[in-house]
Structure 1
Amino acid sequence: MNARLSSASAATAYQRQWFADLRKEAAQGGDLALVNADAPQEIFRTMGIPYVVNQWWASIVTAKRRAQDYLGLLRERGYPDDSEQYSSIPLASAFDPDPADAPWGGLPRPSIVLAETTGDVSRKIFDIWDTQPGVSFYPLESAAENDVPTRWWELMPRDWEQAVGSDRLDLMTGELEGLIRFLEQTTGRVFSETRFAEVMDLVNEQQEWNRRTRDLIARARPCPLPVNDSIPSVMIPQWHRGTVWARDAARAFHDEVADRVSAGTAVCPGERARLMWIGRGLWFDLDFYRRFEESHGAVFVWSMYLAIAADGYLRYGGDPLRALAARFAAFSDQLYTPPWSAEWYVKEARHHGVDGVVHLVSEDARGSYFTTRALEAAGIPVLELHADNVDARSADGDALTRTVGDWLERRVHAGD
């Protein structure tokens, strides 16, 4: 079954038109923010400030085979081209001598950049942004908590204060209040608490649809859709969360998956193995995910994008700004910090009934050792692929394919 999801095509078409409109607005001197994927974008949505997600732009550059050109622009200026490429490729857009030839017409220069400073490299990337003419950087702290909640995914929707910790929430709530003041002073726009509550409600509705979709796929035998279709179907609406369009797009994605499940649609009619992909999207080779269906009957049924939308975003009750702080204060923990992340990956692997896990480990990976160890301890075979998701220099595509094929035969299909 090779027909692409209508929801994926519709989301991509929407994103192209949105970006074209955004470029026109920016060319006329409008405000524009560049924000990290794990930043509280809901504030920008509330204030009507257009924003581009840093890592989304890196994925577009990479998918269009331009990553090496952009990394070269960093190298020419004496900046590292082999560290945090996923976050630094968009910075290179500021140095592009011919932006008209860039993917999708090029990234307009932002006036504001926002990121959580999760490490020294990340901070330095955004400090360089801050030195560019007309660009202001607003940093958010990255805090930690000694007490780790058990089964955090059950607590997060309504018991988020307990799950995240009051000290962390106090810190991030204060920082968000400062961000609002900064944006009001910088842009002249006003933050509306009424509008903010509407945005938060729409985000919760959107994630409820994502949760239903995740659970449909987890139960479905055979798998009804390719994982590289699910990524745009869920993530493009995620970048627009807090809008009616995004909520409705998440519902359309769910309904399309439900129709496929009811019809018994199979990505791979000869499905023999269900696989989980842990790590960021392999943007330089998205066809990779389909490569093992015919040869090994192996289907990737899981990626972190839909799963974290299902478990990581829902926040009900309490002060809306504090609830937003709870959405992002521990976001990196959920994906990368053991035991938060390791326990969640094991839970998701069991929920989806996977037979094996392919784990992409990049140079900047955090907690990857513990994730692999936890899955193996749960009896789930794991293959680690050491490569960067946007830098094709780090991996030979043919070698990766052979490695996965050999692993499938040795460990996943060994008992067949």
Structure 2
Amino acid sequence: MSYDLIIVGGGAAGFFTAINVAENDPNLKIAILERGKEVLSKVRVSGGGRCNVTHAEFVPNELSKNYPRGEKELKGPFHTFMTGDTMEWFDRKGVELKIEADGRIFPVSDSSQTIINCFLTEAKKLGVEVLTNHSVKAFKVEDTYWNINTTQGDFITKKLMIATGSNPKIWKLLQDLGHNAIDPVPSLFTFNIKDPRIKNLPGVVTNATVKVKNSKLTSEGPLLITHWGMSGPAILKLSAWGAIELNEFQYNFEISVNWLQYATQEETLGQLKELKNNHSKQQVYTYAQFELPKRLWQSLVLASGIKKEIRWADVNKSQLHKLSEELTKGAFQVKGKSTFKEEFVTAGGIDLKELNFKTFESKKYKNLYFAGEVLNIDAITGGFNFQNAWTGGFIAAQAITNNTK
């Protein structure tokens, strides 16, 4: 079977590229090869099943700061296609989006199926062939064509797009062609922590600063206590920026949590002394301070050796010091990680030095393009990984159709 463009990978980046190419040049013969039974499976589970399409950051340089790997390289592409362009693109397709208070952007329907239906409908309307159960076994270039060998037969195409995400088999094939692939490590994960101070606090959330011991890694923002440990933006950002380093620690490391986010231990100790003087008859345990969730405050009070019935007047210097330490420098041992919801993001992929970011074409092979997580690009949570897919797919589509006209 002969095509003008074959896209390997039936995910977000693959479909976005195919649709944009077909819109730019309806005469091109395009196929998507997907190894699984279904396409867009990652889109389905993203954002808790709602599909976090992108994020409400409309300044290219600020948007790029959310990418631990790819920040420098994406600045240029984001000036061509970014958040506002994504919203306009979906709007033209009849998909209404909404911006939530934290900046995340979802379909108004709150269902990822809306995005899936949009892609499937557009692909069908534009004549893009979607071939499932086609696992690619090999590909090579001969003269001006790419030969692709799959479990369902062979194909030839003028142009080849790889949009397979973190698929080690495809990375190996690309390495055989001479491309360099950075080994994958998990990104965007939660911390497994077994500690009596948080054992009975699942669901408690508060703003905190988190630091990794023996590292420069630090993060801040909402921290969520879960049944298995800690999650929330503060932890997820830390896992993304620290993906490589935390992998080297084999996910066994210590963190320091400042539950008051910015206050120092000295400042906090001073405030605790004031509480001792001003509320001497009150029980320390009963009334939460520093606007902390009550259950968290009570747990930290007990962890400081202050019993439930103790009044502020009876708290000694040692207990005050211990409480100030628990509030601002709480040490927790992390032993292992868990995938964030059903989303799986990796750091790693094709070396960014081998890509022309004006076209998303390989510097090593003409007519070989990449988009999405197959590249060594990943982001913090909040819709940024999808924005990378949309941007790469759009720019590649422009280059593909400019080269064929």
- TM-score of the aligned structures, taking structure 2 as reference length: 0.25
Considering fraction of residues, name the structure with more strand: 2
Higher alpha-carbon Rg: 2
- TM-score of the aligned structures, taking structure 1 as reference length: 0.25
